[in-house]
Amino acid sequence: MVIGVLLTVLVLLGVYLSNALQWTKLPDNEWEWRKECAPQYQRHGAIAGDDFPYGRFTKSFVEVFANAPIIYILCVECDQVVVPRMWEDKHLLIDGRAYDVCVGDAAIKHGLKASQLHAAAIADATERNFDFVAIVEEDVLPDENIEWDQDQIDRFMFQLKTRFWSVARFGFRPFFMEREGGPHPGWIPSGMCSDQRCVCQKIASQLCEMPRVGCDMRSSDAYFVHSRVYGVMSRSLWNYDGDPEPLIAMAHVIDVGVMRQLNNQILVVPQWTYQERGSRGADDIVVRKAGGASYVAACVQGNAGEGALAAEVRSVSEENVPVDEELTKVRSVSDENVTVVEPLVR
């Protein structure tokens, strides 16, 4: 009896450790042959001049992303990318055209091709052993009406340092609302959050956290990603065998099936970024803003306790408290493992 119980425990422990490894480990068979192409699709962009140092971005957006150890810019028209001066020594372009030519993925449909560039960036981050990185698509457009002061930037970085997070998304599109119809994509007849998996708890004045998996929240135009999910994201992005079935193919698109597997996602609210060349053309930003506002009104819950949080940030900054002690002070979500939604990955 006792021996049987011990054997069961050992088996379960082995399964747990194996799954934990898969979340952080790159799929070697998919990465090794692509890695040979890296010198051809990785490059640096033109740096913005002194008269316009932030390029197409806003000042505080550039300052926030400068906190990442590296910013990957995914592009097709890479010759037209102008990199903010503050990112000069910490950016890398992932050239979509060069990637297609060398890797041979030119026949893959657009959504999947774009997702391959996200996989290439995450794989490079894994190789370099970065704890987290920033990823930006070339047509991202920050809302010029949103600016963070240094205190807000410090709070954001403090949350990244002290929480068990997977991705931090600066733009989002609540697609689960769009499927419900209504006067506009963000319409909610009841005024309540229609999908409880999409409830987002406030953790700061400009941030909330979605603790559950499965929310159909789209957009990957600008985000931070933590090393704890490099492996599972790479595996989901690359584990596509060409099956023409739309549901199978879409499960491997970065913002459709891949991010949907991750819990503890941090969202910037209201959303800060949009796509200049979105799926709806010129109306995309207007519709995204309307839908995003409805999502925030219905699904973002709680009170962040800004005064207490600001005091904690100042206290930790002044005392230079080690990260482990910070965790005991402010973490509000337990260290649960990020969970894969099995049906989303074939």
Residue 18 confidence class, pLDDT cut points 50, 70, 90: very low
pLDDT of residue 318: 40
User: What is the predicted pLDDT for the residue at 100?
Assistant: 85
The mean of the pLDDT values for the chain is 78
Task: Say if residue 244's pLDDT is above 90.
Answer: no
pLDDT at 16: 39
Whole-angstrom distance, CA of residue 201 vs CA of residue 73: 29
How confident is the model at residue 279, as a pLDDT? 58
Ranked by mean pLDDT, the top range of 105-109, 158-162, 303-307, 337-341 is 158-162
pTM: 0.79
Supply the pLDDT for residue 19.
42
The domain ranges of the chain are: 27-339
pLDDT, mean of residues 79-104: 92
Give pLDDT tens digits for 299-320: 999 987 544 444 444 433 343 4
Is the Cα torsion angle 31, 32, 34, 35 positive or negative in sign?
positive
- Residues with Cβ < 8 Å from 308, sequence gap 6 or more? none
State the residue for tokens 């070697």.
Answer: 28
pLDDT at 191: 64
**Average pLDDT of the segment spanning 100-106:** 74
Band (169; pLDDT cuts 50, 70, 90) = very high
**Residues linked to residue 218 through DSSP beta bridges, in sequence order:** 173
Peptide bond into 27 cis (omega under 30): no
Confidence label for 5 from pLDDT (cuts 50, 70 and 90)? very low
Distance of alpha carbon 205 from the chain centroid: 20
Q: Where are the alpha helices (DSSP H) in the chain?
A: 2-24, 28-35, 38-41, 59-65, 96-103, 110-127, 150-162, 175-178, 230-238, 246-250, 284-299, 306-319, 323-330
Of 102-106, 162-166, 332-336, minimum mean pLDDT range:
332-336
For residues 74 and 250, the model is more confident at: 74
* pLDDT above 80: residue 328: no
- Cα 310 from Cα 151, distance rounded (Å): 8
Residue found by looking up tokens 């023409």 in the block: 244
Task: Give the pLDDT score at 240.
Answer: 66
Average the pLDDT over 127-144 and give the result: 95
What is the arithmetic mean of pLDDT over 185-189? 51
